[in-house]
Amino acid sequence: LEESWSFLDTVESNFRPLVVIELAKGTKEETIEWLTKRIVDKKANGGAQLLIKPLVTENGVENIYLVGASHIRLLLGAETVGLVKECSDNSMRTFTYSSRKTFKHFADDNHNFLTMAECQYIIKHELENLRAKDEKMIPGYPQAKLYPGKSIVRRLLTSGILVQIFPLHDREELKKLSHSWYGRVKVGYQPLDDIRCYFGETIALYFGFLEYFTFALVPMAVIGIPYYVFAWEDYDKYVMFATFNLLWSTVILEVWKRICAILTYRWGTLLMKRQFEEPRPGFHGVLGINPVTGREEPVYSSIKRQLRIYLVSLPFVCLCLYFSLYVMMIYFDLEQWALDYHRENESNLSSLMLYVPSIIYAVVIEIMNRIYRYAAEFLTSWENHRLESSYQNHLILKVLVFNFLNCFASLFYIAFVLFDMKLLRQSLATLLITSQILNQFAESLLPYWLQKRYNRRMKKRMCSKKTDMDLSLSEQVNMEKEMGTYLGTFDDYLELFLQFGYVSLFSCVYPLAAVFAVLNNITEIYSDALKMCRVYKRPFAEPTANIGVWQLAFETMSVISVVTNCILIGMSPQVDALFPDSKMDLVLTVALIEHLLLAIKFIMAFVIPDKPRDIQMKLAKLEFESLEALKQQVKAFQMQLHFVLIHH
């Protein structure tokens, strides 16, 4: 009976496919057998105790497997990954199987207590934590070495036996979600909680940030419009606008932390304990003893990594930066040439020509950013970081530095070397608008169109006229497995970061930037939503409590923007006219104001609490309760002990 417990479930009608495993064509039979055995095997035997079923299509059995789990297995898994759910008394608590009755909406027959995304996350976690016992290699593949504790799925992935693992879409839910999300044009909030239920916290938090950021830009845009329309260029109005922008950008970043805390508290991720970080899949090295865990695993000397970083990566990044500056100088030559051309033969066409160099440069910048992105990924992965977090930090640092210079160097050069405010305004506008158009196109519309064309061809081949809803499971799986993979929120945040740079760095020169940013972000919400729902495979949910290093990146940008804006205001002819006698006084005044603004910024960041008061109270309450519980345990134990001591 015990042996067949898991198998029994697989043939039951309640098997709900959650995750798809695609093995390479021609994978050996013994490997498949071994893998399935390990997946269904009991926890006590080191298995994952999940359910697995081959996908049967008209063409017979392909190497595609569907993974699911019994209801109780998922609940136990929820405890293992440390999910936090809402209790009947509206407080958030870490879910445990033994206390399951105290949770809101829990009933033994309610299979919707865990969202589908949570179930898929649990299955991914269980599969990834399926570890080699005494196997020395993957059966059938002597070159795919294993050692005790190595994640089997990761080894299968790196040796190419496992093509991909992805969670299945839920066509019905997806239709509901996409209707309420982007199906109709409406003014209002996105259904963040539904997005979180379907795609998980990381993606929901990105859309939450995008929406918040758009709303936060509206005041800047509203104030910016009259400046542009009426061409207000008085000193005091300018200073007021820039000062408002600077303080506003500090406030919005601080307030975001609070909103983020509210969202992630509601979603339970604010309270989730950090899991111990395992080595990232690509990490390799010679077998040794990990000093922290005491386990045998690959180790790679930190000195070698440092050498790779400082002797290869750093020079390469510097070279790229130099190249970017070189391209910038070519752009200025082009600009000069266009200006000369316009001066010689003045016409409508030639005045349009003035914009051509900027547009070309904007396109080149985008191309360079994308190429550099691949190079940075390759280099960072070659640096062989042990942890995913360390890999991500090095990648983000590399990409941010290059993107910042690549996008803004020409603007800094125009502003602070050429002192040409007219060119700055024109260049800023062209760069901003071109990059926005390019991004929207490359990120969402192009893949959507490609995907649509592919789907049409697929359907034609299947000779069916069914809608998406009527597709059989095997058709759905075959369609989804060909979809592109969503590579995470990195590029989306990067785009927002650069946009924030365009808006804030030179806000006092081009007040209309915020207007374009708002317009772009509104379409961005729609195109990103389309991308998530229609273009890409469903991604695995990833719990997260904040936007991580991006908060720091945005804050740094807002500090830099204080400096640039103060200098720009100081350079404006209106301010110049206020200090007719002494340029010295002008510079000193500007420096004083800059320092004051920076001081106010830091004090504001310090004074505004990162979490709203009611969230603080709820967290304090939870901490108090867990300490109380611990105290009770200790007390009970001590009393027992005293009792024993007295009676002996």
Taking the chain, what is the end-to-end CA distance rounded to the nearest angstrom? 47
Q: Does 56 bind a second copy (CB under 8 A)?
A: no
Q: Does 291 bind a second copy (CB under 8 A)?
A: yes
Interacting stretch for a second copy, rule CB under 8 A, among 27-35, 307-315, 355-363, 627-635? Answer: 627-635
Q: Does 418 bind a second copy (CB under 8 A)?
A: no
Interacting stretch for a second copy, rule CB under 8 A, among 36-44, 103-111, 165-173, 421-429? Answer: 36-44
Interacting stretch for a second copy, rule CB under 8 A, among 179-187, 193-201, 518-526, 621-629? Answer: 621-629
Instruction: Work out which of 7, 97, 215, 228 binds a second copy, going by CB under 8 A.
Output: 97
Phi, psi angle pair for 445, to nearest 5°: -70, -45
Q: Which of residues 195 and 553 has its CB atom nearest to a second copy in the complex?
A: 553
Q: Does 624 bind a second copy (CB under 8 A)?
A: yes
**Residue found under tokens 């004090």:** 603
Q: Does 44 bind a second copy (CB under 8 A)?
A: yes
Q: Please tell me whether residue 582 adopts helix, strand or coil conformation.
A: coil
Q: Does 645 bind a second copy (CB under 8 A)?
A: yes
Minimum CB–partner distance for residue 70 and a second copy (Å): 10
Minimum CB–partner distance for residue 248 and a second copy (Å): 23
Minimum CB–partner distance for residue 478 and a second copy (Å): 35
Interacting stretch for a second copy, rule CB under 8 A, among 202-210, 350-358, 399-407, 638-646? Answer: 638-646
Half-sphere exposure of 328 (CA within 13 A, CB side): 18
Q: What angle do CA 72, 77, 81 make, to 5 degrees?
A: 155
Minimum CB–partner distance for residue 81 and a second copy (Å): 11
Could you give the CA distance from residue 232 to residue 226 in angstroms, rounded to a whole number? 8
Q: Does 8 bind a second copy (CB under 8 A)?
A: no
Half-sphere exposure of 490 (CA within 13 A, CB side): 16
**Residue found under tokens 């992935």:** 157
- Percent of the chain as helix, strand, coil, to the nearest 5: 65, 10, 25
> Which segments of 14-50 are extended strands (E)?
19-23
Could you give the CA distance from residue 92 to residue 617 in angstroms, rounded to a whole number? 12
Could you give the CA distance from residue 63 to residue 65 in angstroms, rounded to a whole number? 7
Minimum CB–partner distance for residue 273 and a second copy (Å): 8
Q: Does 136 bind a second copy (CB under 8 A)?
A: no
Instruction: Work out which of 587, 609, 629, 632 binds a second copy, going by CB under 8 A.
Output: 587
Minimum CB–partner distance for residue 63 and a second copy (Å): 31
Q: Write down the H helix ranges in 538-612.
A: 549-571, 573-578, 583-607
Q: Does 293 bind a second copy (CB under 8 A)?
A: yes
Q: Which of residues 184 and 613 has its CB atom nearest to a second copy in the complex?
A: 613
Q: Does 234 bind a second copy (CB under 8 A)?
A: no
Q: Does 1 bind a second copy (CB under 8 A)?
A: yes
Considering only CA atoms, which of 165, 171, 174, 19 is closest in space to residue 530? 174
Subset of 447-466 contacting a second copy (CB under 8 A): none
Q: Does 349 bind a second copy (CB under 8 A)?
A: no
Interacting stretch for a second copy, rule CB under 8 A, among 288-296, 313-321, 369-377, 452-460? Answer: 288-296
Name the helix (H) or strand (E) containing 201: helix 201-229
Q: Does 469 bind a second copy (CB under 8 A)?
A: no
Angle, nearest 10°, between helix axes 490-505 and 549-571?
20
Q: Are 604 and 250 in contact (CB under 8 A)?
A: yes
82's CB contacts (< 8 A; 6+ apart) are 94, 95, 272, 273, 275
Q: Does 646 bind a second copy (CB under 8 A)?
A: yes
Q: Does 185 bind a second copy (CB under 8 A)?
A: no
DSSP letter assigned to residue 55 = E
Q: Does 337 bind a second copy (CB under 8 A)?
A: no
Q: Does 607 bind a second copy (CB under 8 A)?
A: no
Q: Give the DSSP letter string of 351-390.
A: HHHTTHHHHHHHHHHHHHHHHHHHHHHHHHHHTT-SBHHH
Bridge-based pairing of strands 19-23 and 162-167 is antiparallel
Minimum CB–partner distance for residue 647 and a second copy (Å): 9
Instruction: Work out which of 41, 47, 76, 240 binds a second copy, going by CB under 8 A.
Output: 76
Q: Does 11 bind a second copy (CB under 8 A)?
A: no
User: Given CA atoms 207, 210, 215, 218 in this order, what sign does their dihedral have?
Assistant: negative
Q: Can you give the C-alpha Rg of the chain in angstroms?
A: 29
Q: Does 639 bind a second copy (CB under 8 A)?
A: yes
Q: Which of residues 536 and 550 has its CB atom nearest to a second copy in the complex?
A: 550
Q: Which of residues 59 and 302 has its CB atom nearest to a second copy in the complex?
A: 302
User: Given CA atoms 340, 411, 505, 209 in this order, what sign does their dihedral have?
Assistant: positive
Q: Which of residues 311 and 563 has its CB atom nearest to a second copy in the complex?
A: 563
Subset of 539-568 contacting a second copy (CB under 8 A): 563
Q: Does 638 bind a second copy (CB under 8 A)?
A: yes
Q: Does 389 bind a second copy (CB under 8 A)?
A: no
Instruction: Work out which of 37, 42, 136, 453 binds a second copy, going by CB under 8 A.
Output: 42
Q: Buried b vs exposed e over 525-563: b needs ≥16 C-beta within 10 Å?
A: bebbbbbbbbbbbbbbbbbbbbbbebbebbbebbbebbe
Q: Does 348 bind a second copy (CB under 8 A)?
A: no
Q: Does 187 bind a second copy (CB under 8 A)?
A: no
Torsion of CA 452, 454, 458, 464, to 10 degrees: 20
Cα→Cα distances 19→54, 428, 523, Å: 12, 46, 32
Q: Does 571 bind a second copy (CB under 8 A)?
A: no
Q: Which of residues 49 and 243 has its CB atom nearest to a second copy in the complex?
A: 49
Interacting stretch for a second copy, rule CB under 8 A, among 57-65, 287-295, 372-380, 539-547? Answer: 287-295
Q: Does 2 bind a second copy (CB under 8 A)?
A: yes
Interacting stretch for a second copy, rule CB under 8 A, among 57-65, 183-191, 355-363, 581-589? Answer: 581-589
Q: Does 397 bind a second copy (CB under 8 A)?
A: no
Could you give the CA distance from residue 536 to residue 634 in angstroms, rounded to a whole number? 52
370's CB contacts (< 8 A; 6+ apart) are none
Q: Does 292 bind a second copy (CB under 8 A)?
A: yes
Instruction: By CB under 8 A, name the binding residues for a second copy.
Output: 1-2, 5, 42-44, 72, 76, 79-80, 97-98, 275-276, 291-293, 563, 583-584, 587-588, 591, 595, 617, 620-621, 623-624, 627, 631, 634-635, 637-639, 641-642, 645-646
